[in-house]
Amino acid sequence: MTSFFSSAPRIPKDAIFALTAQYKSDTSPVKVNLGQGAYRDNAALPWILPSVAEARERISNHKLDHEYLPILGLPEFRQAACKLAIGPTKFGSVASRIASCQSLSGTGGLHLAGSLIKACSSLKPQVWIPEPTWSNHHLVFSSLGFECRSFQYYDFERKRIDMNAYKKMLQNAEPHSIVILHACAHNPTGCDPTKDQWQEIGRIMKERQLFPLLDAAYLGFNSGSIDDDAYAIRYFINDLGMEASVSMSFAKNMGLYGERVGCTFVVTQNAEIAENTESVMERLQRSEVSNPPAYGAKIASMILNDAKLTEMWYADLITMCSRIREMRHALYNLLVENGAPGDWTHVTSQSGMFSFLGLPRDIVIKLKEQYHIYMAENSRISLAGLNTSNVAYVAKAISECIRADTRPSTGPSVSSVL
């Protein structure tokens, strides 16, 4: 009997998870994992945020049950998440035009946003995605049947945003196209537009009738300030008055990686459209996950809706952001001290969890095979994998590998991973 699955192809494993598996199986007593983007403390251990620990204790003391959430998710969480992104002073004037739904973290949120646009639009819009970017952007939207187009975001030679290429894409994209925007902490480059650049991007997008879909996975984690990190979201929605979609994740900024806590919302033109749109989101959610997970949403909701816990969380964000920034500057200083050829100022000018080193692929492989230092093939590293015990080793290894190589370290133009 012929199997229903006889034509199934063998698809390679996800690159970053495969890299993590290699790291775990490495028996070397000295090894460093700079691959997966998950925060670690200075002892290289997962960190439970004090605000999260307090919220968990309170929930447990309230006789936690395990009943279903509504299809759209925990209402008080959804409202608090939208208010966080839009800002407390403007939220009241926008709230009636919002359609929101709890999602399975950032990936689920992007998929939900794409499914919603597909269900509501007869235009079959193109999706424009920065190059390089988080690899799941292409996977999510191509799996939904969208035509995905790449545009040059990063200037590999100058190690900064290529604004000329960015603006050229915006000017030439078909009206009603979707543009994927990293709200902050661009993955993998760590290069975000300045406020002036965001205003220029927004102005062109509004003139050209392009739709902003903002991936907000690092609010507060990037700079330590929600207000600073939410600037692009608030500019498009509050200042330009544009319709927009925002996919929020609380995996990074609350350390709730395994709980898959997210919220996706769209701001529409009026209350009636918002109500209709939310009904479509509810139907899509029902067909895919039926009801979202409750525990993580209750933790996040308690933090966002309790003044004391919110203040604790803001302090936690500064703790994480400060450690990442400390490792960023330590790596830069040690690369310079070790005489690593080239200009490394891009390491300190970038922001967020990642640093885009710009190393050739064979050096990345050499670092793994000879020094047991694991990073993505495009030389994106998670700075959370560095600590005071290993950063000197990493900097010395990188310096030695580059000195042994005669080519300029400009890096390949390839997409990022988780």
Closest CA to 180 of 137, 209, 218: 137
| Number of neighbours of residue 300 by Cβ within 10 angstroms | 28
Our answer to whether residue 215 is catalytic in this structure is: yes
The one catalytic residue in 47, 83, 128, 134 is 134
One-letter amino acid of 260: R
Long-range contacts formed by 138-147: CB under 8 A, 24+ apart: 138/415, 140/107, 140/110, 140/111, 140/114, 141/110, 141/114, 141/180, 143/111, 144/111, 144/114, 144/115, 144/118, 145/118, 146/114, 146/118, 146/178
Closest CA to 401 of 323, 345, 347, 335: 335
Closest CA to 252 of 383, 403, 92: 383
Query: Is residue 73 left, alpha or beta, with left meaning phi > 0 and alpha meaning psi from -120 to 50?
Result: left
Question: What does the block give as tokens for 196?
Answer: 């002036």
Rounded to whole angstroms, the Cα distance separating 31 from 29 reads 6
| Number of neighbours of residue 305 by Cβ within 10 angstroms | 14
Task: Return all residues near 228 (Cβ < 8 A) that are at least 6 apart.
Answer: 184, 222
The one catalytic residue in 215, 316, 344, 368 is 215
Our answer to whether residue 396 is catalytic in this structure is: no
Largest CA distance in the chain: 66
The one catalytic residue in 252, 298, 366, 368 is 252
Our answer to whether residue 134 is catalytic in this structure is: yes
Rounded to whole angstroms, the Cα distance separating 330 from 334 reads 6
Residues with a known catalytic role: 134, 215, 252
